[in-house]
Amino acid sequence: METQAESMKTIVFAGTSIDLQEAGKLSGATVQGPVKRGDVTQAVKQGYDLIGIIDGIFFHRAAVGHREILGALRKNVTIVGGCSMGALRASEMDRHGMIGVGKIYEWYRDGVIEDDDEVAVATNPDTYESISAPLVNIRCTFLSAMDEGIISSGQETFLLDIAKATHYSLRSYYGIIKSARDKGMLDEQTAAYLLDFCRDTEVDIKRKDAQAVLSRIKELDI
């Protein structure tokens, strides 16, 4: 008599790019805040055999290590990553079996972007909520504004240069656009219209990729 296979024991590390409640609802998994050094090793010890990495600690504490991911993969633990820390680690560890998901992962994998601070944000330590804008979202949103004819190609490049030169914890659409206006690259009307566009129609590529990671986890957890 055939029996149905048991579901995999699954944990997802998220909280910044997508909140924990939604991550749990979309994946059906146990959810925990952004991953840090040692969390993957601990999850393996606790018997998890499917691990999703979306958000993680970057600069103020030790980030999740390559060795612990490799150790988990060698124990036949399935690890899916995308969006933020997950995209970074998947682009570095996919040749060892980590599964990368989403556009940001592809950008890192293909060398379109390279720096860790492309996905880094400042967060509320109690809620994990982002309080600065990630550079990947800024890139996509300014490109969308250019496609809509709000800014020119030259203005888009200038705005992105300002964003790159701004510390990740201080990046905001208001600050970037104000700087461009103060430097004479944007007139008052264009600056005001662009700011409204960014606030109302931001291209949240991190959220989209987070949802893609959770969808892949749901598919695997059968």
With a CB cutoff of 8 Å and minimum separation 6, the contacts of 170 are 122, 132
At residue 54, the pLDDT reads 98
Please name which of 114, 124, 219 lies closest in space to residue 169, comparing C-alpha atoms: 124
Please name which of 110, 120, 62 lies closest in space to residue 90, comparing C-alpha atoms: 110
At residue 59, the pLDDT reads 75
> Tokens for 204?
């949240």
Strands laid side by side in the 30-32 sheet: 30-32, 10-13, 50-53, 78-82, 99-101
SS3 189: helix
Instruction: Decide: 87 and 81 in contact? Cβ < 8 Å.
Output: yes
Phi, psi of 193 (to 5 degrees): -65, -40
pLDDT band at 61 (very low <50, low <70, confident <90, very high): confident
Q: Which carries the bigger pLDDT value, residue 217 or residue 4?
A: 217
Per residue in 127-156, pLDDT (tens digit) is 999 999 999 999 999 999 999 999 999 999
At residue 76, the pLDDT reads 96
Report how far residue 64's alpha carbon sits from residue 68's, in angstroms, rounded to the nearest whole number.
7
pLDDT band at 9 (very low <50, low <70, confident <90, very high): very high
Least confidently predicted of 60-69, 104-113, 174-183: 60-69
SS3 110: helix
Per residue in 45-60, pLDDT (tens digit) is 999 999 999 999 987 7
Element (H, E) at 172: none
pTM above 0.75, yes or no: yes
pLDDT band at 71 (very low <50, low <70, confident <90, very high): very high
Please name which of 21, 113, 80, 49 lies closest in space to residue 215, comparing C-alpha atoms: 80
